[in-house]
Structure 1
Amino acid sequence: MNPITTSYPVNEIFETIQGEGFYTGTPAIFLRLQGCPVGCPWCDTQHTWEQRAEDQVPVAQVVGKPSASPLWAALDAEAILATFQAQGFNAKHVVITGGEPAMFDLRELGETLEAAGYQLQIETSGTFALQVTAQTWVTVSPKLDMPGGYLVRPDCLQRADEIKHPVAMEKHIEALDKLLKSCPPNPAAIICLQPISQRPRATELAIKTCIERNWRLSVQLHKYLHIE
Structure 2
Amino acid sequence: MAQRYPINEIFQTIQGEGLFTGVPAIFVRLQGCDVGCPWCDTQHTWTVSPDRETNLNQVTDKSDTSDAWANATTAEILNEFIRLGYQANHVVITGGEPCMYDLRELTQALAVQGYQSQIETSGTYEVLVDDAAFVTVSPKVKMKGGLVVRPDALLRANEIKHPVATEKDIDALDALLAQCKWTTPPQVCLQPISQKTRATQLAMETCIARNWRLSIQTHKYLGID
Query: Contact 1:35–1:98 at 8 Å: present in 2 too?
Result: yes
Q: What's the offset of the Cα at 1:68?
A: 2.2
Give the alignment's TM-score, normalised by structure 1: 0.97
Q: Deviations over 1:32-88 (max 9, x none)?
A: 000000000000000000000011000111013144200100000000000001100
Q: What's the offset of the Cα at 1:184?
A: 4.0
Query: Contact 1:29–1:91 at 8 Å: present in 2 too?
Result: yes
Q: Deviations over 1:195-221 (max 9, x none)?
A: 000001100110000000000000001
Which residue number in structure 1 is paired with residue 199 of structure 2?
202
RMSD of aligned Cα (Å)? 1.0
d(CA) in 1 for partners of 2:11, 2:183? 31
Which residue number in structure 2 is paired with residue 147 of structure 1?
144
Q: 1:17 aligns with which of 14, 17, 25?
A: 14
Query: Contact 1:31–1:97 at 8 Å: present in 2 too?
Result: yes
CA 1:131–1:67 in structure 2 vs 1: closer, same or farther (change >3 Å)? farther
Give the alignment's TM-score, normalised by structure 2: 0.98
Q: Percent identity?
A: 59
Instruction: After TM superposition, list the pairs within 5 Å mapping 1:129-148 onto structure 2.
Output: 129-148=126-145
Q: 2:113 aligns with which of 113, 116, 136?
A: 116
Q: 1:41 aligns with which of 26, 38, 41?
A: 38
SS at match of 1:182: coil
Q: Could you list the runs of 4 or more consecutive aligned residues of structure 1 that deviate by over 6 angstroms after TM superposition?
A: none
Query: Contact 1:157–1:185 at 8 Å: present in 2 too?
Result: no
Q: 2:92 aligns with which of 95, 106, 112?
A: 95
Instruction: After TM superposition, list the pairs within 5 Å mapping 1:1-228 onto structure 2.
Output: 4-185=1-182, 187-228=184-225
**Gaps in structure 1 of 5+ consecutive residues:** none
Tell me which amino acid in the other structure corresponds to 1:26: V
Q: What's the offset of the Cα at 1:186?
A: 5.8
**Gaps in structure 2 of 5+ consecutive residues:** none
Q: What's the offset of the Cα at 1:29?
A: 0.1
d(CA) in 1 for partners of 2:183, 2:214? 19
SS at match of 2:126: coil
How many residue pairs get aligned? The number is 225
